[in-house]
Amino acid sequence: MRRLGLFGGTFDPVHLGHLRTAEEAREALALDRVDLVLSARPPHKAADHAPIADRRRMLELAVPPGGPLGLDFSEVERAGPSYSIDTVRQVQAREPDAQITLIVGADAFAEIGTWKDFATIFTLCDFCVTSRPETSAGKLPIAVENAFCYEPTRGVYVHRSGRALRFLPVTALMISASDIRRRCAEGRSIRYLVPDAVVEYVAAHGLYSSGRTAAR
């Protein structure tokens, strides 16, 4: 059975905090691969994202084929809002022998009570909640805590369905996409916060330079 991690985000743009988090989750959980899932039309975030085509291209530049990280564009190809539960179901249908772990940053996980069918999603796959600077991690949100019990020998929370949820501390890199966009708008450097190829792409396409780019 293949062990597959899915790490969703708007990636506007993808940065080293994302890549390092995905890599540390892959290593810690002994996953065969971690796919970055581009949340094309996120239901919980403002609508004025950079065009999907640009966010996709930057991911392709940041994650070359053949490496330990992969890319999943099923939410780009699907119409309507990007719901994680639909993606998990789609990946399961496509790869029935894959054991899926959904990797979610602590800030995103704190909002899980607002996700579509959040109670069901815990029955479909395992969860790994990764730390993020300035977000306290290690706590189950009230909306879900009754569905889990802690198993100290394994250091995981076990859902009543039998699926596992673990909290994983990762190297604290205080990088956010909104800070990167702000720096671009101010004409400042973003080098070493994102992969070099993304620095070049942002500059060549004038992304984020005069406020937000229009949604496409």
Q: Is 5 in the site for ligand ATP (CB under 6 A)?
A: no
Task: With residue 100 as reference, give the H or E element that holds it.
Answer: strand 98-105
Q: Which residue in the set 55, 132, 159, 163 belongs to the binding site for ligand ATP (CB under 6 A)?
A: 132
Q: Is 28 in the site for ligand ATP (CB under 6 A)?
A: no
- Give the total of residues touching ligand ATP (CB under 6 A): 18
Task: With residue 126 as reference, give the H or E element that holds it.
Answer: strand 126-130
Q: Which residue in the set 5, 6, 17, 184 belongs to the binding site for ligand ATP (CB under 6 A)?
A: 17
Nearer to ligand ATP, 111 or 200 (CB): 111
Most distant CA atoms of the chain, gap in Å: 53
Q: Is 21 in the site for ligand ATP (CB under 6 A)?
A: yes
Q: How far is the CB of 171 from ligand ATP (least distance, A)?
A: 8
Q: How many CB atoms lie within 10 A of CB 38?
A: 24
Judged by CB under 6 A, the stretch of 6-14, 146-154, 157-165, 205-213 that binds ligand ATP is: 6-14
Closest CA to 92 of 80, 105, 74, 109: 74
Nearer to ligand ATP, 68 or 154 (CB): 68
Q: Which residue in the set 5, 6, 11, 100 belongs to the binding site for ligand ATP (CB under 6 A)?
A: 11
User: Residue 77 pairs with which residues in a beta bridge?
Assistant: none
Query: What is the token pair recorded at 153?
Result: 């020998």
Nearer to ligand ATP, 18 or 163 (CB): 18
Q: Which residue carries 């780009």 as its tokens?
A: 76
Nearer to ligand ATP, 106 or 147 (CB): 106
Query: What is the token pair recorded at 108?
Result: 């995103």
Q: Is 41 in the site for ligand ATP (CB under 6 A)?
A: no
For residue 113, what is the DSSP state? G
> DSSP 3-state assignment of 161?
coil
142-181 positions binding ligand ATP, by CB under 6 A: 173, 175-178
65-104 positions binding ligand ATP, by CB under 6 A: 104
Q: Is 47 in the site for ligand ATP (CB under 6 A)?
A: no
Contact 83, 65 (CB under 8 A): no
Closest CA to 105 of 213, 10, 198, 192: 10
User: Residue 166 pairs with which residues in a beta bridge?
Assistant: 128
Binding site for ligand ATP (CB under 6 A): 9-12, 17-18, 21, 104-105, 107-108, 130, 132, 173, 175-178
